[in-house]
Structure 1
Amino acid sequence: MSEEDHARRDVDLEKPNAARVYDYILGGQLNYAVDRMFAEQVLAAQPNARERARLNRQWLRRAVRFGLDQGIRQFLDIGSGMPTVGHVHEVAQAADPKSRVVYVDNEPVAVAHSEIVLEGNENAAMVHADAEYPDEVLEHETTEMLLDLDQPMMVVMALFVHFIPDERDPARLIAAYRDALAPGSYLALSSATYEQQGEGTSRAVEMYKKSANPVTPRSADELRALVDGFEIVDPGIVFIPEWRPDGELHPRPAESGGLALVARKN
């Protein structure tokens, strides 16, 4: 999509957008000058930001495979962002082509390009909605067509909840999704944290205050409180590379800058 197209898509080019910044950091091309400029500032303050993004994507794939191993065949990806390689539907449908995936985002560029990527995939779709209004997501005709709320599913919130400040009550938001899920469902969640972090994280958080998506890093205890009503599975709330690694252990897991968990609704 060219910058000339942004107006009819309601794309705000006055401020950098987290989804597009993340896309740039991952090496994508679905971003604008305002995002690239901001991302370079973040990279200057936090030189390992690309590695952090890569580690989170790897965790996401591991979490989806875990869900598949538990028999989950339907996934709801909240705040899914840009369609990058190894997206949820690619991992899930590689294991079972009948796996169904609904992505949700309110960023028009992410929505437009996800729709292109998913064209012709009858078991995966994009929903343009504000995930902070669960009814808008869960009662959307696309969600109702693809997902059966009476059967277990996995809700994915990868680097999403840290964009919800305390005053917007993220615990209430997560509880609304939890209450809509069938027993045996899972929540996969990752979040930025201040735990064992240096000044680079603090500088990046300050930078994001000037963006369209300020960040609220949280501790393990704070995340545990957010997922009340779920049972957190082993290994608990850990730094992102420590969550069920499928290869060589990361030598400095705290450098991922984030915590991850998967929890089950009993």
Structure 2
Amino acid sequence: MSESEAGRITIDTSRPHPARVYDWWLGGKDNYPVDEELARKILAADGTAVRGARANRRFMHRAVRTAAEAGIRQFLDIGTGIPTEPNLHQVAQGAAPESRVVYADNDPIVLRHAEALLKGSAEGSTDYVHADVRDPDTILRLAGESLDFGRPVALSLVALTHYLGDEDDVYGLIERYVARLAPGSHLILSQVTQDLSPEGVARAAELFRRSGTPFYPRTLTEFARFFDGLELLGPGVIPVYGWRPDPEDVAAQAEGVVPVYAGVARKP
């Protein structure tokens, strides 16, 4: 990422952006009135929204630690979002300082904050790619300047696939990314589902769509399909709170349901 690239980016404040809505749910300040308005409407329609955002972040932390403990030292995080500490590179490099991390996102605000994402350990490296998940050729080409795709990579798309639909060929899209990964790589995913909160998720999905943001909750079977051909790590595809929970996650379950599935799988 160059300074000139950041300088050319124009932020559209007339429409909400999922990354900025998510930032508001997490208590961040990098959002605009249009984002806050939608975030509040969705929270009123689906009271699980804030719990879901927090649960997704904690799942990312646990999954990245799991990948690092398995010996992975390269991470590609697509749909990075606005920096919220601890960021993925802080978790990965906290477990293994030599880890190399590449972030990718299409939100101009994330680009403006990329400098915060690039402050990693001296032993490892961090980089940022401003590109859309629907353009795997660009993301993989630019990420390949920092990562060696001949060695295992942990590919993370947390809370992203529910913004991708059939018109994006979402299953084919994920397959294209996974095809570039070496054996031993990990795929880390989470996805909103209507299974666990049908009415609330339906209302939230409609609000997203009215705002111009496609939104596609998926069933357990539909979500599990993303892992076809891969080896699921225990406990498999499961509601997000239950994926290898830390004590704080067990305690958070008492707050109520979170309609999100999560899973991590290894490429054989």
Q: Same-fold call, TM > 0.5?
A: yes
Unmatched runs of 5 consecutive residues or more in structure 1: 1-5
Q: Structure 1 residues 8, 134: closer, same or farther in 2, change over 3 A? A: closer
Q: Structure 1 residues 10, 99: closer, same or farther in 2, change over 3 A? A: same
Q: State the identity as a percent.
A: 42
Are positions 1:78 and 2:70 aligned together?
A: no
Residue-by-residue CA offset, 1:89-127 (whole Å, 9 max, x unaligned): 010111122111100001110121123442576601110
User: How well do the aligned residues superpose, as a CA RMSD in angstroms?
Assistant: 1.9
Q: Which amino acid aligns with 1:260?
A: A
Q: Is the 8 Å Cα contact of residues 197 and 257 (structure 1) preserved in structure 2?
A: yes
Partner of 2:23: 23
Consecutive aligned runs of 4 or more in structure 1 exceeding 6 Å deviation: none
Match of 2:138 among 136, 139, 157: 136
SS of 1:177's equivalent in the other structure is helix
Q: Structure 1 residues 102, 34: closer, same or farther in 2, change over 3 A? A: same
Q: Which amino acid aligns with 2:136?
A: P
Q: Is the 8 Å Cα contact of residues 56 and 240 (structure 2) preserved in structure 1?
A: yes
Partner of 1:96: 96
- Report the Cα offset of residue 230 of structure 1: 1.4
Q: Which amino acid aligns with 2:267?
A: K
Q: Is the 8 Å Cα contact of residues 65 and 91 (structure 1) preserved in structure 2?
A: yes
Partner of 2:3: none
Rounded Cα–Cα distance in structure 2 between residues aligned with 1:239 and 1:246: 14
Rounded Cα–Cα distance in structure 2 between residues aligned with 1:223 and 1:129: 24
Rounded Cα–Cα distance in structure 2 between residues aligned with 1:8 and 1:217: 34
Rounded Cα–Cα distance in structure 2 between residues aligned with 1:100 and 1:218: 32
Residue-by-residue CA offset, 1:44-100 (whole Å, 9 max, x unaligned): 112332111111100000000000110011100011111111211010111122111
Rounded Cα–Cα distance in structure 2 between residues aligned with 1:130 and 1:246: 32
Rounded Cα–Cα distance in structure 1 between residues aligned with 2:195 and 2:76: 28
SS of 1:255's equivalent in the other structure is coil
Q: What does residue range 1-266 of structure 1 map to in structure 2 within 5 Å?
A: 9-119=9-119, 123-140=125-142, 143-247=143-247, 249=250, 250-251=252-253, 255-266=257-268
Using the TM superposition, name which of 182-191 and 110-119 deviates more.
110-119
- Report the Cα offset of residue 225 of structure 1: 1.7
- Report the Cα offset of residue 251 of structure 1: 4.0
Unmatched runs of 5 consecutive residues or more in structure 2: 1-5
TM-score by length of 1: 0.92
- Report the Cα offset of residue 167 of structure 1: 2.3
Rounded Cα–Cα distance in structure 1 between residues aligned with 2:179 and 2:162: 21
- Report the Cα offset of residue 144 of structure 1: 2.1
